[in-house]
Amino acid sequence: MINRIRDIRRQKGMTLADVAARCSPPTTAQTIGRLETGMRNLSLGWMNKIAAALGVEPELLVKGEASPAPQLIARFTGGAAEPLERPTDAILPTELSGDGALVVMAVEEGAGEYRAGDQVWLRQHGPDDFARLLNRDVLAPRPGGRFVFGRMIDRQGSRVAILAPGAGTRQVVVDNAPWLAVTEMLVRKL
């Protein structure tokens, strides 16, 4: 049975041992790992124990059949929405073509044109491409696993200057970034 235990556990920032200890009665991390990977069958009893340990409804632990791809059914032109003669599968963000890996940044606190709840989809580029990313919104890795996000306003050799969105912000200089990810798409809930 395909399950979502690992996805939910990681989303909650819990280890296998954390989940095992929260089960009633407690079990081992190895048992939880086997249930996650499908090496051991997920019975209704185990599903209820793990759901309680994760603090979710048991139904969330089980994946349903794959849902159909979203359909492109209409186009908006001249102030009106018109149906397409033949619906087609919509392009999902993960299917966007281009070189470089796609990464996603969740916006939790709005700044500038970005609102809380937005998802920013970015494509990674190597140092050879940095010159063409000037005046674009980029995400840059920093030492210690941190990042800086904003408009790339300058580049000198291996150094790039990034200005965070919003009024009154200061530029941050990043030196020798292994990659920059340029904003490719904004996903905003209505």
Distance CA 70, CA 52 (A): 33
139 shares a domain with 54: no
How many domains does the structure of the chain reveal? 2
- Stretch 37-52: mean pLDDT, rounded? 88
Mean pLDDT of all residues belonging to the chain = 85
41 shares a domain with 103: no
pTM: 0.57
180 shares a domain with 101: yes
- Is 48 part of any domain? yes
Residue 139, domain extent: 94-187
110 shares a domain with 39: no
pLDDT of residue 81: 67
| Position 46 pLDDT exceeds 60 | yes
CATH of the domain at 28: 1.10.260.40
178 shares a domain with 99: yes
Amino acid letter, 130: F
- Is 102 part of any domain? yes
| Position 28 pLDDT exceeds 90 | yes
pLDDT of residue 169: 85
| Position 71 pLDDT exceeds 80 | no
Highest mean pLDDT among 25-34, 65-74, 165-174: 25-34
pLDDT of residue 97: 65
CATH of the domain at 169: 2.10.109.10
Can you list the pairs that 5-14 forms with residues at least 24 positions away whose Cβ atoms lie under 8 Å? 5/32, 5/35, 5/36, 5/42, 5/50, 5/54, 5/61, 6/36, 6/37, 8/54, 8/56, 8/60, 8/61, 9/36, 9/54, 12/54, 12/55, 14/54
Last residue of a domain, one of 61, 76, 105: 61
Q: Model confidence at 29, in pLDDT bands (50, 70, 90)?
A: very high
| Position 78 pLDDT exceeds 70 | no
- Stretch 69-74: mean pLDDT, rounded? 69
